[in-house]
Structure 1
């Protein structure tokens, strides 16, 4: 049953990722009437919200855009930073939404930031710890159940992080769309495109969270079946 559900989630995840790429290609072809680039959009949104200590910088890669609260930096990929189109504006405004969350002490973002060190540690070692636990259990050593349980605990942190990420990402998009509309950056046509693009991005986070939850329960079932 688990494998059936996992296959479905993997397929849905692939579809969500493919959909996002298609939306990016489609809406990258629609220029903003005001000629603003992603960098311009991010900087204006910051200024409109009274934020003057956050830098907007260019980064390598594709769809690698992010906000780093530790150094107050909005990193935009080259296509977003330099281009004038609806997709660039939507992504830039979304990442700026995270900066606004930081300034206003948005609770889910604060919790997510606090979990980063634990998630970093868990992601690095969880698979090895779970594998060690399973191997020890397979060899009849009771200590294996304790090690497996430790691994499950670490994976629980990763799963919790993925679910806390959902309201953070959705709220950033809500802030972005509201500002794009209020400031007149987008027109009726382009605003619908920006909304569609950010919804496509949100779906990828939902699928990721569900995938993590499914895997977590799978490990729990293994533990329940082998602890005796």
Structure 2
């Protein structure tokens, strides 16, 4: 589960009043969301599930129940570094989730298998997101240089090109939201239907996944705030 915020904290190469107006509040929201997911995960990672099932076992069982025998489950280092790799068809779980027997471990493991199920069923938002990844990566890496050069030399067409490329990152974030929310919804349904978690355990997993989803919402807000800032600077230079 990628919980980092995709580098959208970068205010580019200068600060201005628009940064304070648009971006700073969004950054505060993002920090709150990050703190919330860390504390929520930490809380429920200390509560074992009644089935004494590890995250790896839960992931393997869910995948097999959905006929995804070819999807591997692997352990990776890091904290909250869990993710599904559609290219290699691997669910990668951090050590605390892979070996963990907690409510949080099962919630996160089920969430990542939710992405694998999305992939196998050609879930439309996921297909679109995967298709535009190369474009958004190009846009993110190129936009900053176009903006810097454009603002330095006051070349408005270059600035606008940079803004358009940066807007692709905002689109990517928007498409990511339904992908993540749907994966969590699938995870909670599977955990409840199969009896892996029930009652307060399921409620705890829901809190963990909700907190994680809010980091993606915060990332989208930060990206959109940066876009508004750039548009405001662009409009101000036009007025000047």
TM interval, shorter chain, is: over 0.9
Q: Is structure 2 residue 219 aligned with structure 1 residue 202?
A: no
Structure 2 residue corresponding to 1:126, chosen from 143, 164, 169: 143
Query: What is the aligned partner in structure 2 of residue 32 from structure 1?
Result: 49
Q: Is structure 2 residue 113 aligned with structure 1 residue 96?
A: yes
Q: Whole-Å Cα distance in 2 between the matches of residues 150 and 5 of structure 1?
A: 21
TM-score by length of 1: 0.94
Q: Whole-Å Cα distance in 2 between the matches of residues 120 and 74 of structure 1?
A: 23
The Cα of 1:157 is off from its aligned counterpart by 0.5
Q: Whole-Å Cα distance in 2 between the matches of residues 59 and 127 of structure 1?
A: 32
Structure 2 residue corresponding to 1:68, chosen from 77, 85, 91: 85
The Cα of 1:224 is off from its aligned counterpart by 2.7
Gaps of 5+ in 1: 138-143
The Cα of 1:61 is off from its aligned counterpart by 1.2
Q: Whole-Å Cα distance in 1 between the matches of residues 117 and 233 of structure 2?
A: 42
**Matched-pair contact (CA < 8 Å) for 2:180–2:213:** yes
Q: Whole-Å Cα distance in 2 between the matches of residues 119 and 61 of structure 1?
A: 25
Give the alignment of 1:47-86 within 5 angstroms: 47-86=64-103
The CA deviation string for residues 162-214 of structure 1, in whole angstroms up to 9 with x for no partner, is: 01000000000000000000000002011000001100001111111011111
Q: How many residues align?
A: 222
Query: What is the aligned partner in structure 2 of residue 216 from structure 1?
Result: 227
The Cα of 1:76 is off from its aligned counterpart by 0.7
Q: Whole-Å Cα distance in 2 between the matches of residues 36 and 12 of structure 1?
A: 34
The Cα of 1:153 is off from its aligned counterpart by 1.2
The CA deviation string for residues 16-59 of structure 1, in whole angstroms up to 9 with x for no partner, is: 11011111110001111111111111111111111111111111
Q: Whole-Å Cα distance in 2 between the matches of residues 213 and 197 of structure 1?
A: 25
Give 3-state SS (helix, strand or coil) of 1:29's partner. coil
Q: Whole-Å Cα distance in 2 between the matches of residues 30 and 189 of structure 1?
A: 11
TM-score by length of 2: 0.89
Query: What is the aligned partner in structure 1 of residue 200 from structure 2?
Result: 189
121-130 or 1-10, which deviates more: 1-10
The CA RMSD over aligned residues, in Å, is 1.3
Q: Whole-Å Cα distance in 1 between the matches of residues 185 and 124 of structure 2?
A: 16
Q: Whole-Å Cα distance in 2 between the matches of residues 154 and 76 of structure 1?
A: 33
Q: Is structure 2 residue 175 aligned with structure 1 residue 158?
A: no
The CA deviation string for residues 115-162 of structure 1, in whole angstroms up to 9 with x for no partner, is: 11112222222212211111010xxxxxx2111111111111100000
- Higher percent of residues as helix: 1
Q: Which one scores higher on RCO, CA 8 angstroms, separation ≥ 6? A: 2
Q: Is structure 2 residue 165 aligned with structure 1 residue 148?
A: no
Structure 1 residue corresponding to 2:34, chosen from 8, 17, 35: 17
Q: Whole-Å Cα distance in 2 between the matches of residues 217 and 15 of structure 1?
A: 21
Q: Whole-Å Cα distance in 1 between the matches of residues 144 and 162 of structure 2?
A: 7
Q: Is structure 2 residue 54 aligned with structure 1 residue 43?
A: no
